[in-house]
Amino acid sequence: MNDTELLRMMGYRLKDAYFDKAVLPIGSTEYHGEHLPFGTDTLVADSLAAAVAGRVEGMLKLPVMPYGMSHHYSSFPMVLTIDTETLIRVLKQLMESLNAHGVKRLLVINGHDGNIPALEAATREYRTEHPEFKVAALEAWWVTAGDLLPPGTFEAWGGLGHAGEGETSMMLRVAPELVNMSKAKGHIPDLPAHVQVKWLFREITPYGVTGDPTKATSEKGILMWDTLVNHLVDFLEEMDRNGWEVDKE
Ligand SMILES: [Zn+2]
């Protein structure tokens, strides 16, 4: 687990520091097949957040949230889940705390699909009640990375999947010592297009893995990681220039 800036900081250092914004990584603790660690979603979100905070002035990196909404994965071993309602409350209370301490700009980096509904609900509702508090989110880095990278970067299923080609590649960049490629095995489910079937994870893979992790490489991981970090840094610099107002002339 990465050290986190706030946890290592002493009070006198915080007092002297200037933070006008924060980055909150949120993840999950759930089975990612036999080749990746349970903390995969947490480790990836934390790594991206640390890199971004290190490059953007006035940005405080918050400790990573290691639990997420993982009910749909819960038939696999040692999935630790909280429910969406709980996550909404946690996110709102963290925003409330930051707001009370004068940090009124937040970027959330999410590492896990099951967290997206709570993230959407909490941020929309909190912002409506507190328009002065600005928040942005990278909700699905695995989709964004695919959008930003040249077509053909991934070999199987557009790189998608739980512990699939993209996520396994990311872990080869973030924590290669925790990846065991000799155990990599996945399944690409045949899902209908355009309409989302609300599957339980065990219904679409026997391995706890979707996509094809055997196609993962550290080169793809480095490309994904660098591209996402650069994109977020550019995004934040642009937001700062515009005072976190959108659609500004
Ligand atoms: Zn994952």
Query: From the CA of 33, how far away is ligand 1's center (Å)?
Result: 10
Q: Is the pLDDT of residue 249 over 70?
A: no
Q: Which CATH number fits domain 19-241: 1.20.1740.10, 3.30.70.2740, 3.10.110.10, 3.40.50.10310?
A: 3.40.50.10310
pLDDT at 128: 98
Residue 95 Cα to ligand 1 middle (Å): 25
Residue pLDDT, tens place only, 170-186: 999 999 999 999 999 99
Per residue, what are the HEC states of 21-79?
EEEEEECCECCCCCCCCCCHHHHHHHHHHHHHHHHCCCEEECCCECCECCHHHCCCCCC
CA 178 to ligand 1 centroid distance, Å: 14
Distance 42 CA to ligand 1 centre (A): 8
Q: Are 33 and 185 in contact (CB under 8 A)?
A: yes
Domain ranges across the chain: 19-241
243 Cα–ligand 1 center, Å: 33
Query: What is the per-residue DSSP string for 148-206?
Result: HSPTTS-SSGGG-TTTTHHHHHHHHHH-GGG--GGG---B---PPSSS-----HHHH-S
Whole-prediction pTM: 0.97
Task: State in Å: Cα 151 to ligand 1 middle.
Answer: 22
pLDDT band at 200; cut points 50, 70, 90: very high
pLDDT value at residue 159: 95
Q: What pLDDT, on the 0 to 100 scale, is given for residue 5?
A: 84
Distance of CA 48 to the CA centre of its chain: 8
Tell whether the torsion through CA atoms of 61, 66, 69 and 73 is positive or negative: positive
Q: How far does the centroid of ligand 1 lie from the alpha carbon of residue 43, in Å?
A: 10
What pLDDT score does 1 carry?
Answer: 53
**Residue 116 CA to ligand 1 centre (angstroms):** 13
For ligand 1, the distance from its centroid to the CA atom of residue 44, given in whole angstroms, is 9
H-helix or E-strand spanning residue 232: helix 218-241
Give the range among 5-14, 78-87, 101-110, 217-226 with minimum mean pLDDT. 5-14
Q: Tell me, in angstroms, the distance from the centre of ligand 1 to residue 97's CA.
A: 28
Burial class of residue 234 (count of CB atoms within 10 Å of its CB; 0-12, 13-18, 19+): exposed
Ligand 1 geometric centre to CA of 112 (Å): 6
pLDDT of residue 2: 60
CA of 28 to the centre of ligand 1 (A): 8
Mean of the per-residue pLDDT values of the chain: 96
User: Which pLDDT does position 111 carry in this prediction?
Assistant: 98
Given this model, what pLDDT does residue 248 score?
73
47's tokens: 């790594």
